Amino acid sequence: MLILGVESSCDETGLALYDSDAGLLAHALHSQVAMHQEYGGVVPELASRDHIRRVIPLAREVLAQAGRELNALDAVAFTEGPGLAGALLVGAAFAKSLAFALGVPAVGIHHLEGHLLSPLLSKRPPAFPFVALLVSGGHTQLMRVTGVGNYELLGETQDDAAGEAFDKTAKLLGLDYPGGPAVSKLAESGRPGRFKLPRPMIGSNDLEFSFSGLKTAVMLLARSQPGDAATHADIARAFQDAVVDVLVAKCMSALQRTSLERLVVAGGVGANRQLRAGLDAAAARQGFEVFYPELELCTDNGAMIAFAAALRWKGGLPKPDTTFSVRPRWELSLAG
Amino acid sequence: MNFAAIETATEWCSVALWRDGEILSLERRAGNRQGEFVLPMLETLFRRANLGMADLDAIAFGAGPGAFTGLRIACGVAQGLAFSRNLPVIGVSTLEATAEESGAARVVVALDARMHEVYYSAYEKRDGGWLAALPETCVAPEMAEIPPGAGWIGCGNGFSVYADRLGPRLAGRLERIAPELRPSASAVARLAAPRLAAGEGLDAALATPHYIRDKIALTSSEQGKGK
Ligand SMILES: Nc1ncnc2c1ncn2[C@@H]1O[C@H](COP(=O)(O)OP(=O)(O)OP(=O)(O)O)[C@@H](O)[C@H]1O
C-alpha cells in the first residue's frame, strides 16, 4: 500500500511517501520558522499562505526521490487536526482533491496519533503496549497505548505545554523564536545548581502537569538577576532542569501505575538531549525501556501521517469520501 | 476544450464544468463549510456531463480577493485536481467574475471585505473582454476611487452592506445598483476559457490566491513601536 502523507497543521509543511512493504520511501519538509521569527511567533494567516505555496513542490520532491508515479498511490493521508484551522484546510483541500482526481481515498489523521506512532518508524521500534509521552509546542500528555487506535489519556498539562514553556522562556531571555532548541543550547553551557526553580506538580499524586507557574518563576528570576550571558545560561539551565525533572518523574510514575515497561517519547521537546539523558538514566535504574523517533521525525512531518494511515488502514482502506473539513480542536482519545 | 471551475471566495460554493463551450454549473450557500460541498458538487457535475477527470484539459478557480480561507479552498482544490494529471491552472479575479455576472458594460464591483472595507474595482466591456477601469483594491467605502464618467452599474454585496457610504461616494456615477450579484464559477469559466485557449494556464504549483489584503500582522519591532 503506497500512501502520500500531507502535514500542514502548524508551521511546517511536510510531505512523505510510505509503502507498507518497503517502508518510508521519502519525506520532505519546509519549515516556516524563519518567516515567523520576525513576528515573535506563528502568525496563523501567514502559515496558511505559505503552506499553499509549498505543497506541490514538496509532493514532487518526494515522488522524485522515491521514483514513484502519482497513479501508483493507494491513498492520500492528511492531518485533519488538531492545529490551526486555516493551515489544516490547505492540506485537506489539496489531499482530498488529489485523491478524488486519482480515484483513491483520502484519510484524515490525528496529528498526535502521527507523533505517537512515529517511534515505530525507527530502527528499534517499540512493541505495544506502551506509555507515550507527547511533548510538543501545543501538548504535554501521557497516554496508555495498547494498539493502533487505542489511546487512553492518563494525564496532561493543565495550562502551558512544555514546548510552550521553552518558547516563552526563550522570549524572556531574549532568544529567537522558536525557543526550544535555543534554550536547550544555552542551558548546556549553564551551571546546574546556581538557581533553583520550582518543579510544578511533581509531588501531585497524579499524572497532570503545569508549566505556566514555571514561566512566571523564570520571569521573576531573570528580572532580579543581572542580564549577563553567564547568568542567562544558568537560568536556562535551572529552567531545563526543572522541566526535565518533572517530565521524568511523571513518566516513571505513569509506568509504575500502568505496570507497563516501555515508554515512547514523541513531539518536538522529545529532541531535547537533557530530557533524553534523564529518561534513559531513570529507565535504566528502574528497568524500563525508552523509545524515541528518529531525530528528524521529532517535529512535525508528513512521514508520521502517511505511516499512521498505513497502520490504521492495514486491513483495508475506507471508501473514498469527497467531503472535507478539519478539526482544529480534537481529543486523541476520541479519534480511536 | 473541457475544464472545471471553482469559486468559493464568498459564502457561496459554486462549481462549473465547461464542456466545449457549454457550461454546467451548481451552487449553494455554504457559509464557511465549502469543503463539505465542493468536491461532491463537482462529482455531480461530472456525472451529469458524463465526463471524468481524464477528459479535462485544465482547472480554473476564482483567485480572489475574498475570504482568505475560501480563496485557499478554491486554490487548494484546483491544485489537487490539476496536480493529479499535470493540468494547467488559471486563477480568475473574483471581482471580474462579479462584473461578468452583471451582463452590463460598465461595472463597479464592491464586495464586503469586513473590517469596514470593500474589495473594489471597476471594469468596462471592450471587444468582448473586460478592461480594468480602476485597479483592484481593498479600501474603506468612503475612500473608494470614483470611476470616470457615468452610466456605471454597482455590483456586489458591498453596495448593500455599505450602502450609506458607497452610495454618496459614487453619487451621479451609478445608473443603478445590483448588490445581489455575486461571483460564480460559471462566470469564472467564461473568463477563463479564452485565456486557457491562449495558453495562459500555469503549472499547478504556481496557482496562488490573490489576497490584496497583505499586511496581516505586525513584526516584533513594529509591535514594539506601537507600545
Ligand atoms: N531541543 C529542544 N528542547 C526543547 N524543546 C524543543 C527542542 N526542539 C524543539 N523544541 C520545542 O518543540 C516544539 C515544537 O515541537 P512540534 O513541532 O512537535 O510541536 P508543535 O507543532 O509546536 O505543536 P503540536 O505538535 O502539539 O501541535 C516547540 O515548542 C520547540 O520549542
Kindly state whether residues A139 and A39 are assigned to the same domain: no
Kindly state whether residues A106 and A146 are assigned to the same domain: no
Q: Do A97 and B205 touch (CB under 8 A)?
A: no
Kindly state whether residues B120 and B102 are assigned to the same domain: yes
Q: Is residue A17 part of a domain?
A: yes
- State which residue of chain A sits closest to B55, comparing Cα positions: A101
Edge to edge, what strands does the sheet with B152-155 contain?
Answer: B129-139, B118-126, B106-112, B152-155, B174-178
Q: Is residue A122 part of a domain?
A: no
Kindly state whether residues A242 and A145 are assigned to the same domain: yes
Mean pLDDT of the B153-177 span: 96
Q: Give the pLDDT band (50/70/90) at residue B227.
A: very low
Q: Is residue B51 part of a domain?
A: yes
Edge to edge, what strands does the sheet with B58-64 contain?
Answer: B22-29, B12-19, B2-7, B58-64, B89-93
Instruction: List C-alpha distances in Å: A9 to A59, A110, A114, A311.
Output: 16, 10, 12, 20
Kindly state whether residues B9 and B119 are assigned to the same domain: no
Q: Is residue B173 part of a domain?
A: yes
Interface probe with A: pick from B36, B75, B79, most Cβ of A within 10 Å: B79
Kindly state whether residues B143 and B188 are assigned to the same domain: no
Kindly state whether residues A82 and A198 are assigned to the same domain: no
Tell me, what CATH number does B124's domain have? 3.30.420.40
Kindly state whether residues A91 and A143 are assigned to the same domain: no
Q: Do A49 and B211 touch (CB under 8 A)?
A: yes
Distance CA A225, CA A125 (A): 45
Kindly state whether residues A42 and A83 are assigned to the same domain: yes
Kindly state whether residues A171 and A97 are assigned to the same domain: no
Mean pLDDT of the B165-180 span: 96
Place of cell 482519545: A333
Mean pLDDT of the B143-164 span: 97
Kindly state whether residues A95 and A212 are assigned to the same domain: no
From A96's Cα to the closest Cα of chain B, the distance in A is: 7
Q: Is some CB atom of chain A closer than 8 A to the CB atom of B157? A: no
Kindly state whether residues B56 and B128 are assigned to the same domain: no
- State which residue of chain A sits closest to B210, comparing Cα positions: A49
DSSP string for B81-130 = HHHHHT--EEEEEHHHHHHHHH--SEEEEEEE-STT-EEEEEEEEETTEE
Kindly state whether residues A39 and A55 are assigned to the same domain: yes
Distance CA B89, CA B20 (A): 17
Strand partners, B119: B111, B138
Kindly state whether residues A135 and A100 are assigned to the same domain: no
Number of structural domains, chain A? 2
Give me the phi and psi of A14, to 5 degrees please. -125, 130
Kindly state whether residues B12 and B72 are assigned to the same domain: yes
**CB-nearest partner of A43 from B36, B204, B216:** B216
Kindly state whether residues A107 and A245 are assigned to the same domain: no
Kindly state whether residues B152 and B189 are assigned to the same domain: no
First to last CA, chain A: 21
Q: Could you tell me the residue range of the domain that residue B106 belongs to?
A: 95-178
Kindly state whether residues B113 and B41 are assigned to the same domain: no
- State which residue of chain A sits closest to B87, comparing Cα positions: A101
Q: Is residue B213 part of a domain?
A: no
Q: Please, are residues A304 and A7 in contact by the beta-carbon 8 Å criterion?
A: yes
Q: Is residue B219 part of a domain?
A: no
Q: Could you tell me the residue range of the domain that residue A93 belongs to?
A: 2-116+297-334
Q: Is residue A220 part of a domain?
A: yes
Ligand 1 atom with least separation from CA of A162:
29
Q: Is some CB atom of chain A closer than 8 A to the CB atom of B35? A: yes
Sign, Cα dihedral of A175, A265, A58, B67 = negative
Q: What is the pLDDT of residue A336?
A: 59
Kindly state whether residues B37 and B135 are assigned to the same domain: no
Q: What is the pLDDT of residue B64?
A: 97
Nearest to B32 by CA among B15, B8, B16, B14: B8
**CB-nearest partner of B68 from A45, A98, A324:** A45
For residue B130, is it left (φ>0), alpha (ψ between -120 and 50) or beta? beta
Edge to edge, what strands does the sheet with A2-7 contain?
Answer: A23-31, A12-19, A2-7, A75-81, A106-110
Number of structural domains, chain B? 2
Mean pLDDT of the B82-110 span: 98
Nearest to B62 by CA among B39, B28, B96: B96
Place of cell 493521508: A77
Kindly state whether residues B11 and B50 are assigned to the same domain: yes
- pLDDT tens for chain A, 336 residues long, are 999 999 999 999 999 999 999 999 999 999 999 999 899 889 999 999 999 999 999 999 999 999 999 999 999 999 999 999 999 999 999 999 999 999 999 999 999 999 999 999 999 999 999 999 999 998 999 999 999 999 999 999 999 999 999 999 999 999 988 799 999 999 999 999 999 999 999 999 999 999 999 999 999 999 999 999 999 999 999 999 999 999 999 999 999 999 999 999 999 999 999 999 999 999 999 999 999 999 899 989 999 999 999 999 999 999 999 999 999 999 987 775
Side chain identity at residue A76, one-letter code: V
Kindly state whether residues A22 and A149 are assigned to the same domain: no
From B76's Cα to the closest Cα of chain A, the distance in A is: 5
Q: Is residue A162 part of a domain?
A: yes
Kindly state whether residues B122 and B71 are assigned to the same domain: no
From B46's Cα to the closest Cα of chain A, the distance in A is: 11
Q: Do A98 and B204 touch (CB under 8 A)?
A: no
* Residue with CA closest to ligand 1 atom 1: A272
Kindly state whether residues B187 and B89 are assigned to the same domain: yes
Kindly state whether residues B163 and B188 are assigned to the same domain: no
Q: Is residue B212 part of a domain?
A: no
Tell me, what CATH number does A226's domain have? 3.30.420.40
